Each structure stands twice: as C-alpha cells, then as structure tokens.
Amino acid sequence: MKNIFQIILIIALILPTKVVSQNNEKLFYDVKLSGVSSTGNASPFLFQSQNYGQTTADKNSLYSNISLGKDFDKNKKYFDISFKINGLFRTADSEKPNAYLHEYYTKVLILKFLDFTAGAKEEILGTQDSTLSGGGFLFSKNTRPMPKLTLGIEHYTNVPFTKGFLQIKGALSHGWYENTLLKDMYLHHKYAYIRIGGKWPVHIQYGLDHVCQWGGILPNTGEQPDSFDAYLAIFKGGHGSSNSHIGDQINALGNHIISQSLKVEVEISDYKLNGYWQNINEDPPVDFMWKNDMNMPDGLWGLSLKNKKIPLINGILYEYLNTTDQAGAIFQKDGIIYGGSDNYFSNYLYPNGWSYFSRTIGTPYIAPNTLIGNRYINSTNNRVCVHHFGLEGETGGYCYRLMASYSKNYGTYSLPFPSMIENTSTMLEIKKTYTQLYNLEVGCTIGADFGKLYGNTVSGMISIRKRGNLFKY
C-alpha cells in the first residue's frame, strides 16, 4: 500500500511540467531573504509559531526562499493545474548551512470544485482566523508542511437545488511522516463541514476533523499493521488485529484525535463578525461538542471583526484557549476508569505525539514531544490557559500586523510545574512595497517574550522580497 501512494505522488509532481510545456502557461516567482537577531537565548515564540517551521529557535538565523509556481486560471471551467516549488536555504547558530524543499506540490482542480493535491503545501485547516489567530486547536502554522495526497472538495460548494443556502466541503488525506524515529509512519486525515445561510447576513458552519497516526516501525514493539485492512480499521476508528499492539487491540488501531468546530458569521454592509469554537477528543465517547461533558471546559474560542471601510484597522481578533481540564486528573483509580488525564497531543505508542519535526502540529501553546538523541521526551506543558489578541491594517502603503499572547502554564497532570508560569509574547510586523525599487517588498518585524517559560528576549527580523511573473504571453 505504501508503494501505491508514493507512485501516485511522484506522477502528480511530474505532471505539471508536462502541462506547462504544452500550454505555455504563465509562471510566477517569489524570492525572499530574511534575517533574525535576538538579545536572549532564542528567537521569540511568535516568530517561530507563525511561520510554518521556517524560523528556528536560534537567537540568530539567516534564511532565503526561492519559489517557482503556477496559479489556477480563473477562466478555465473544467480542468486546471497549479503547482509550486519552494526551496528554503537556512543557516543558524545551532546548525550548518542547509537547504530543503519547504513546499512542493501539484494541485488539480476539476469542474471548479473537486480538488486533488499531491505534495507538501502550506495550509490553513480549521475555522480560525487566517491572519491573526495564534493557531487552531488541531492545526496551526507551527510546523513545516507534510507530504500528503488529498482528494475532496476543499472549498465550500453549493449543494444542488438549495440555491446556495446549503454548502459543503470535505476531503480525505494520506500523509507521510519524516524526521522521526518511527519509520514508515503515516497520517490519516479526513474532514467534513457544512455551511448554511445562503444570501442571509448570518451563516453557520459546523464540521468535524478526524486524524490518526498509524503504521510505522516502533522502537520497542516493532512494525505496526499498514495493510489495506489496517487502513480500513483506522478510517472507521476500529480495533487493531492480532498482529497489532495489545493496546490497539483493546482500544483503536493508531493514535486518534477528533476535533469539532462551530462558527457563526455575521456580515452587515462593510463589516464581518466571526465567532468560532473548536474542541478535541482523544478518547471515546465522542458526542456533539455542545454535549461533550468529558472535557467541556477545554477548547479554543475566537472572535474577530473585519471591515472594508477603515483601512487603518481592518481586522481585530481575540482568542481564548484552555486545555487545563483534560477530563479531570484521574484516568483510572481502584479499578474504575474515569477517562481523565487525556494528556493532550501525547500517546503511549507513538512517542512523537501530535508533532512533526519536533514542533506541535496543533496549537503551538502546547509544547511538543521532543526528540533528544534516540528517544522522545513527552510534552512538558500541555495544560495551558491563553489570551491572544491580534490587530491588522494599512496606512500610507504600510501594512502592519500586531499580535500578543498572555499564557498561564501548568505543565502536565503527571509532571505539574511547581507553580504556575506566566508568559507574554508579542510581535509587530510592518511591510511596504516600493514601486520605485522594482516593486521590492521590505519588511521589519519586532518580537519579544517576557517570562520564565521561554526566557526574556527581544528580537528583530528584516526581510526583502521580490515576486512577480517569470514570463508572460
């Protein structure tokens, strides 16, 4: 089964070069050079968590991106292809100069609604704000893209005969883990969302994401099932077969997480107000999120206001994240299973937990399971309470984005911090495009951390970017 997925991926990545050469499509380029320098021992938290893993934790780093790609043609109705190759060249205090492909993907659009994507692509998955959020509960911008195959309807599409009142989206993905001790480990992800409202000023979204880490050769228990039957089991959340780990035979095959999202959108004239709520379940039973008594206090709640009338402040956001409950502190006592101590984003069988390249895939405020030497260390901090603020706008050709997070950190139920640790993280990003300088975009970002969690640091980032069309016809 592994070879079938990889063959599909290779063919899909080769396909766009044939299409472009045959149809003389328009290509774009994007070149960016960035440098970071800090006063403390590390770069600020928001520098790292908002950049898809490109900015390292080092106090000083230098990196450049060189991208080449093709966007969809809006005039094509039946079939179109887009692709991108984004190479990252980086050097930092703790690493020698190195390079890797940060993004490499081909995306096929059929009949304007059906999507097929192959490769590693930066994505925004979830109902959170796309520019000001500190990160969704299950997915964020905290780590680099994972190579995947995805098939589905990735954008809301009208259901026939409803005149746009009912819209749906959903997709199915298969991904490959890299940079892990667990060889041949996979990611399964599927999601389904509905949106109602049509021409009304109020719209409601509700959806569910299901992810599962499965397969792999584990250090202590050996090779885990990765057959088609095993895939069907993880798809349904079923038990493992006799050749799987005993825990997976009793519970479910693989490491499963389910997240539900509810979003309300109110649009009046030039203003749009969004409110959203996200939760997760790592153990059954799973009920509708408003009936989920096990860990109801936990979740991500966000409120954002966008406007087209006041450029100086065209977006403002507040988010509240709580992960301290985890269905209580007790999982089992005196032979009674209470189902608590969920220990978010950690797993007894998959020691890397919900992380990729030692960075949390979900909310970055939960510390990842970290690879040290030849073993993983469980998350040291997954019980957090966070207040996050965001502001963005434009004036005089200068675009800015301001973000600030205040967190209370308690460690874990098994290893709590001796006392609660407070932390404040801030970031101000300013960018301007200079038409008289060949449309160069110059950016300056200032970030800081204050507190004992990451240590005190103030950092600056300077970037120069040039993008445009490689050729026109």
For 11, other C-beta atoms within 10 Å of its C-beta total 11
CB 386 within 8 A of CB 320: yes
CA dist., res. 127 & res. 274, Å (int) = 10
pLDDT band at residue 7, thresholds of 50, 70 and 90? low
Q: Is the pLDDT of residue 374 over 50?
A: yes
**Which pair of tokens denotes residue 237?**
């959340």
pTM (two decimals): 0.90
pLDDT band at residue 32, thresholds of 50, 70 and 90? very high
**In this predicted model, what pLDDT tens digit does every residue of 265-309 receive, in sequence order?**
999 999 999 999 999 988 776 777 777 777 788 999 999 999 988
CB 317 within 8 A of CB 389: yes
**In this predicted model, what pLDDT tens digit does every residue of 219-234 receive, in sequence order?**
777 888 888 999 999 9
CA dist., res. 444 & res. 317, Å (int) = 22
Domain ranges of the chain: 2-471
**In this predicted model, what pLDDT tens digit does every residue of 101-147 receive, in sequence order?**
999 999 999 988 899 999 999 999 999 999 999 999 999 999 999 99
Q: What per-residue confidence (pLDDT) applies to 335?
A: 45
Output DSSP code: residue 6.
H
From residue 190, alpha-carbon distances to 212, 235, 430 in Å are: 9, 9, 36
Q: What per-residue confidence (pLDDT) applies to 343?
A: 87
Q: What per-residue confidence (pLDDT) applies to 338?
A: 43
Per CATH, the number for 2-471 is 2.40.160.130
For 323, other C-beta atoms within 10 Å of its C-beta total 26
Mean of the per-residue pLDDT values of the chain:
88
Q: Is the pLDDT of residue 206 over 70?
A: yes
Q: Are strands 359-360 and 336-337 parallel, antiparallel or unpaired?
A: unpaired
Q: Which helix (H) or strand (E) holds 441?
A: strand 440-451
**Which pair of tokens denotes residue 364?**
């970055």
From residue 394, alpha-carbon distances to 51, 270, 312, 320 in Å are: 21, 16, 5, 26
**Which pair of tokens denotes residue 75?**
């005039």
More confident residue, 455 or 15: 455
**Which pair of tokens denotes residue 134?**
């500190």
**In this predicted model, what pLDDT tens digit does every residue of 169-179 receive, in sequence order?**
999 999 999 87
pLDDT average, residue stretch 42-46:
95
Output DSSP code: residue 49.
H
Q: What per-residue confidence (pLDDT) applies to 375?
A: 67
From residue 71, alpha-carbon distances to 108, 115, 131, 410, 452 in Å are: 11, 14, 21, 45, 44
**In this predicted model, what pLDDT tens digit does every residue of 397-450 receive, in sequence order?**
999 999 999 999 999 998 899 999 999 999 999 999 998 888 999 999 999 999
CA dist., res. 114 & res. 330, Å (int) = 45
Helix (H, G, I), strand (E, B) or coil at 432: strand
**In this predicted model, what pLDDT tens digit does every residue of 55-109 receive, in sequence order?**
999 999 999 999 999 988 877 878 899 999 999 999 998 888 999 999 999 999 9
Picking from 32, 27, 29, the residue whose alpha carbon sits closest to that of residue 441 is 32
Among 72-81, 82-91, 255-264, 461-470, the least confident range: 72-81
